[in-house]
Structure 1
Amino acid sequence: MKPFQLTYVATGSVLLREALSGWGISKRTLASVKYSGGRILVNGDEVTVRHVLEKDDAVTVIFPIEERGEGLAAEEGPLQIVYEDDALLIIDKPPIQNTIPSREHPSGSLANIVANYFEEQRIPATLHIATRLDRDTSGLVCIAKNRHIHHMLSVQQQEKKMKRRYQALVHGELKQQEFAITKPIGRKSTSIIEREVRPDGQFAETEVQVLKEFSGYSHVLLQLNTGRTHQIRVHLSHIGHPLLGDDLYGGKRDLICRQALHCSELELIHPTTGKLLSFSSPLKEDMERLL
């Protein structure tokens, strides 16, 4: 099993520790490299972070092999892989499947199946899911194959450089064709599951564009500018247009038996190459039928 590694080229005379920080290696990642079996090589020789680099020195960071937690069982199952390389795995998740195991659904999750895939492919990593989806929600999920890659993707999300767009079917006809919902979201005081718009909640912003209107419901495109739990569901319910099938937040299940939400587009900057990557996923049959 070959450990994950990255190679950088120094652009001038600088302390190795400072160069690593500039390349996005966090203090936590550096600590795991130093104390958990990783190595740092300069021109093939192992060094410490106090080493002074010279221009054109080749720095190779060999990350420690990660061990999967005992709580995540590897299970066989289908995976619809959209994209894969040494750093990333993009999956098109079906509806009615957990992203990670839960008390109600301890097995059969996407994480269980990916853990088995990592074992079969001898990928030396535990699971790092950068973009989770609710059980009912279908579409694109981004998985990092290394803690460092996960960290870099998290920074992208914080800096709003990662774009996620969803298609949804909502109750009623919306008054505006394009608008943004900017309302803070927090946990509902009477529930451990539900969220709600509340003054003391976390900032949340969802952009909405109406694509087409039908009798009693509308097809909309949504862009998440933040990633709060149940954000889309809460925001749409708050403005009086809950998702079809989302009975937790006021939607009816007469037309579809799950919340009508699908992550159709994902755009990100590749953490190691710097290239812009764009992925798309067509609607699942149950939503497509209603169009």
Structure 2
Amino acid sequence: MNRVLTYEITAEQAGTKIGDFLRRAGYSRHVIIHLKKTENGILLNGEWAYVGQFLKEGDHLEIRIIESESSEQIVPAELPLDIVYEDEDLLIINKPADMPIHPSINNYNNTLANALMWYYQQKGETFVYRCINRLDRDTTGLLIVAKNMLSGGSLSDMSKKREIQREYLAIAEGEVPQEGVIDAPIARKEESVIERCVDFEKGDRAVTHYWRLDYRNGYSLVRLKLETGRTHQIRVHMKYIGYPLTGDYLYNPDYRILDHQALHSWKLAFRHPVTGAQMQFKADPPWKLP
């Protein structure tokens, strides 16, 4: 996967070293080192340049991010792939249920990574898999995947700073209060590798905001917004306040209306990692309140 970016240097940018210019434009130390090692990775007015060279007004700076090899040990597999949006820097995927996002010992060729590797193999392009926001295997909805190391570094930094706004929809059992905030620390459950629980002594701070949108037939449609991003946070928090998600095999294995947890990443909002433009995406859940 190759990405070429061009910059016309303004009067305000003149007198800046190329390295400083790139850092201000969001290029990480890792990306700059990669560019220095890439033949013609940095071109100034058509000629190879050092990061220590100074820029002048009217200069043409061309950056070539070249990744000639795909991610190792990810087998291409033809799987359902719902691409909501794609440009040169990122993908927005609407992930189905029963699809892990990363390969593991028991999930070798059935993941989102395998599907994307197949997609780019058919296009004849290399691809390094960089999934930015995590979703559980049976949680459906929107995910961000970076297509190059520049967008990957920028999006990862945004994620750490909580600058990517995520909202979820869920079906919970019972009549959930109209709105509220759950502020309860989450820790790994003793003697379990997978399960989490609320633990006020050992847990990490976890905060979830929720709003009930509808209620009927004993179930609530709930909108949720994360302030933190702990593993299984929504699933654990909703069980903790007495309104577990339906179909949750770990925390509420009640499959009367759905065979997996009714949790869907329905809205994403963030700045584009390269252009800075505000972006927002929505996707309706694949289920409905009964």
Q: Using structure 1 for the length normalisation, give the TM-score.
A: 0.91
User: How many matched pairs?
Assistant: 286
- Aligned residue for 2:2, secondary structure, equals coil
Aligned AA for 1:111?
A
Tell me how far 1:66 sits from its aligned partner.
4.5
Cα offsets for 1:153-183 (capped at 9, x unmatched): 11222333211111100121123x1222222
Instruction: Determine the C-alpha separation between the residues in 1 that align with 2:83 and 2:75.
Output: 20
The structure-2 alpha-carbon separation of the partners of 1:256 and 1:19, relative to structure 1 and needing over 3 Å to count, comes to: same
Q: For structure 1, list consecutive stretches of 5 or more residues without a partner in the other structure.
A: none
- Aligned residue for 2:66, secondary structure, equals coil
Greater CA deviation, 50-59 or 241-250? 50-59
Instruction: Determine the C-alpha separation between the residues in 2 that align with 1:188 and 1:106.
Output: 27
Q: For structure 2, list consecutive stretches of 5 or more residues without a partner in the other structure.
A: none
The answer for the alignment partner of 2:203 in structure 1 is 201
RMSD after superposition: 1.9
Cα offsets for 1:29-82 (capped at 9, x unmatched): 212222365711122211111111123423222113142233210111231111
- Aligned residue for 1:34, secondary structure, equals helix
The structure-2 alpha-carbon separation of the partners of 1:185 and 1:38, relative to structure 1 and needing over 3 Å to count, comes to: farther
1:113 aligns with 2:115: yes
Cα offsets for 1:1-56 (capped at 9, x unmatched): x6212223432211222111111111112122223657111222111111111234
- Aligned residue for 1:219, secondary structure, equals strand
Q: Are the counterparts in 2 of residues 69 and 126 from structure 1 also a CA contact under 8 Å?
A: yes
The answer for the alignment partner of 1:261 in structure 2 is 263
1:17 aligns with 2:19: yes
The answer for the alignment partner of 1:276 in structure 2 is 278
Instruction: Determine the C-alpha separation between the residues in 2 that align with 1:181 and 1:57.
Output: 53
The structure-2 alpha-carbon separation of the partners of 1:25 and 1:95, relative to structure 1 and needing over 3 Å to count, comes to: same
What does 1:135-174 align with in structure 2 at a 5 Å threshold? 135-174=137-176
The structure-2 alpha-carbon separation of the partners of 1:124 and 1:61, relative to structure 1 and needing over 3 Å to count, comes to: farther
Residue identity over aligned pairs, in percent, reads 37
Greater CA deviation, 54-63 or 266-275? 54-63
The structure-2 alpha-carbon separation of the partners of 1:78 and 1:255, relative to structure 1 and needing over 3 Å to count, comes to: closer
1:186 aligns with 2:191: no
The answer for the alignment partner of 1:3 in structure 2 is 2
1:98 aligns with 2:97: no
- Aligned residue for 1:14, secondary structure, equals coil
1:235 aligns with 2:237: yes
Q: Are the counterparts in 2 of residues 244 and 253 from structure 1 also a CA contact under 8 Å?
A: yes
The structure-2 alpha-carbon separation of the partners of 1:39 and 1:98, relative to structure 1 and needing over 3 Å to count, comes to: same
The answer for the alignment partner of 1:221 in structure 2 is 223
Instruction: Determine the C-alpha separation between the residues in 1 that align with 2:239 and 2:33.
Output: 44
- Aligned residue for 2:125, secondary structure, equals coil
Tell me how far 1:111 sits from its aligned partner.
1.1
